[in-house]
Structure 1
């Protein structure tokens, strides 16, 4: 049975500024809430929502289809149309009009998915993450302005504040909402929840519902705790977003390339790269010359020391991780596990933390024996191992659920963000 969409109507309440009493009396009458059309409003009982995820390495579009049941149940999430393009909007920091073209291309997916008669009632939202958070404020704003213009030209419903940069805390919380909604753990009677580990290009998030009070009491600063109301209950989560500890940003830090000058002549070397490897690598619209140490050593131990400086003293270890909720790991955790041959690229699978460590050692110590088809795999796998073990403090035998989709829906914060538009989560 597919999970129901909780409190969908309450969001529409926020959009339409109806009173609670009005909402419940008009529970089945969407014509009073959605924009009017020339035919009976939403007579098919199907409605849609479009969410853009503007990440550091790509832009993704999620087109959600919801069905309102004939019974007294809340609407259900029927399916998702997903599409992505690379690079991310931040790559166009100096050419914002090109970012607008990226959004126009993805809007064609929405137009093909959402019936024309439903366009005017379908909310269109874009939230940018670490890629834009890492940019200078004026460059980030220029990109958002172009996207807003494209949205305003579109035939869809454009809510207030439909184009924005999402802060890291919300990114972690909304990913938690998405995964727990999709796994059926947000039902009022549910006693269990799942934790989330999200590894993006620019930032990484950890979010879970602690069972021990000491976990909340032992956070370094109050920003590690977030409370929000959902299902007439208040959740108190351990959550934090580490800007600069996403996979691509971590590469820069490990290479000592952060904020470096003279990029046209400087070569950034690493023991995590094959000795004879030298090439260009781009992130955030900037191109770097990178290579291995042609006359030096390479391998797992040296690589681990390089990536450890990206983690040590930065990542806080929660008081409670063992014997807590199952953790779902996605985004680059999933992608690199696939690249390393640890899981199936469709089914995903359960892995122990030590599986990352074992494969990282194998990849790093055999770099010289194979052509560098994926030259950063040693660095990436070693960083993931270091992040999980020396960063968050997971034990070798801790099991992680590596996933890309749950119930055919992308594992990300995007669904949670759309639910936020449907209902004010009151995050604080």
Structure 2
């Protein structure tokens, strides 16, 4: 067994066996989890190893996660052994007017799955795709055409296609399933304390915040749609969670530029103080092309950029009661990517920083745009947006600790693993 399997065997066994302590905030209603029901009968394999395929169809790319599980014996329960991950760009939403081409990107990723899953296991291996903000931002008929095309690609594949195998995932589930993934991989879901970690996920089209509240005030003062409950094995969890559609990093660029939902894209030029003065180019997102530019005869820099970005944040993001405390949050996706690009953390190891570090580096990047332009002409805008989102949006203090990571125990920090758990044993999110 691999080192990763050894690290994950005990927690996953406890999770699946229903041995989790009842540590949901305020109450923990007990549930009985029949071992016979944890996996449908067709997924109780005779072989030692079985697989699950989860597609993450995001706004900027489509990713495949092929999970390997081990069945130690017929009466036992499966454990996570390994994850194979691969991604392609752009995301499905870029093919809004040519869904067949979007389907081809999924078809190419399925070739990777065929190389990972033994041929003898193909018919037993479920394949699932969940689309996120990129498709949520599209007109419904275009999103549906893309999902239908993906379903056709799945049907022609040799893998098992379950009911509702291709779907548009709502933001609440996205946040909760990412929280499940991170707290499982960090060991908090099987610890004997109530200590868990919050998650901050910054995608291209949306951003999510999810954590287990410590104080009743957090729940009391939160909007009703920011509190979600779900049953996981033998506990009910009550989480603070919300997804802000249109506040992902790329959508925020469009909003900052005043281009979100604009017409006349063939001739309009969208300008910003967040871009280098001499910068001008065509920029494509979601199948649309925008002409973007710095302000050649104007000013650029952190203060002006912060003012522009504030308009995208102000009055939109709810500030949870307790985030001004000492909670630790795991931040990933574009939080991680931009921290690497700006030199805040090492790309191979990740790192622990404070919110103030994003602010300090944003100022440096914006006031030295020429130096950072080869990395990305949007780096000033992106770093300023992240700073503004954390401070003015969610209300984090300067000394709030952020653990920036891409992988934990060699598994991707995304909602995909949580979604695989959800598939094998419904979490009843409501």
1:370 Cα deviation from its structure 2 partner? 5.8
Pick aligned residue for 2:315 from 307, 313, 316: 313
Map 1:133-148 → 2, pairs under 5 A = 133-148=136-151
Asked if 1:34 corresponds to 2:42, the answer is yes
Please tell me whether the aligned partners of residues 302 and 363 of structure 2 are also in contact (alpha carbons under 8 angstroms): yes
Partner of 1:254: 256
Hey, what does 1:206 align to over in structure 2?
209
Q: How does 1:155-174 map to 2 (within 5 A)?
A: 155-174=158-177
Q: 2:217 & 2:47 partners in 1: Cα distance?
A: 50
Give TM-score scaled by structure 2 length: 0.91
SS across alignment from 1:251: helix
Match of 1:50 in 2: 53
Please say if residues 319 and 393 of structure 2, whose CA atoms lie closer than 8 Å, have aligned partners that are also in contact: yes
Work out whether residues 197 and 327 of structure 2, in 8 Å CA contact, stay in contact via their aligned partners in 1: yes
Counterpart pick for 2:12 among 4, 7, 16 = 4
CA distance in 2 between partners of 1:388 and 1:365 (Å): 20
Pairing partner for 1:275 from 261, 273, 277: 277
Alignment partners' CA distance in 1, 2:37 and 2:329: 39
Query: 1:340 is matched with which residue?
Result: 342
User: 1:253-402, aligned counterparts within 5 Å?
Assistant: 253-368=255-370, 371-402=373-404
Deviation at 1:188, TM superposition (A): 6.6
Q: Which moved more, 1:176-185 or 1:131-140?
A: 176-185
Which deviates more from structure 2 when the two are superposed, residues 245-254 or residues 62-71? 62-71
> Is the 2:51–2:126 contact (alpha carbons within 8 Å) kept by the matching residues of 1?
yes
Partner Cα distance (1:99, 1:406) in 2: 30
CA offset at residue 350 of structure 1?
Answer: 0.1
- 1:345-376 Cα shifts (integer Å, max 9, x gaps): 11100011011000100010011456544100
Runs of 4+ in structure 1 over 3 Å off: 5-10, 20-27, 41-44, 70-74, 322-325, 368-373
Within 5 A, what are the aligned runs for 1:123-138? 123-138=126-141
Provide Cα deviations, 1:150-199, integer angstroms capped at 9, x if missing partner.
00111111110000000000000000011111111112734211100000
SS in 2 for 1:320: helix
Q: Deviations over 1:299-318 (max 9, x none)?
A: 00000000011111000100
For this pair of structures, how many residues does the alignment match?
A: 410
Give the distance between the partners of 1:371 and 1:319, measured in 2 at CA. Answer: 38
Q: Deviations over 1:19-66 (max 9, x none)?
A: x99964698xx8x8127xxxxx84432110000000000000000001
Give the Cα separation in 2 of the matches to 1:378 and 1:8.
Answer: 45
Matching residue of 2:199: 196
- The question of whether the paired residues in 1 share the 8 Å contact of 2:252 and 2:312 is answered with yes
Counterpart of 1:186 in structure 2 is 189
Please say if residues 206 and 249 of structure 2, whose CA atoms lie closer than 8 Å, have aligned partners that are also in contact: yes
Distance across 2 between alignment mates of 1:364 and 1:258: 23
Structure 1 residues 159 and 59 mapped into 2: Cα distance closer, same or farther (>3 Å)? same
- Give the drift of 1:423: 1.0
TM-score normalised over the length of structure 1: 0.92
- Deviation, structure 1 residue 323: 3.7
- The range that moved more, 340-349 or 196-205, is 340-349
Q: Give the aligned CA root-mean-square deviation in angstroms.
A: 2.1
8 Å CA contact retained: 1:210, 1:324: no
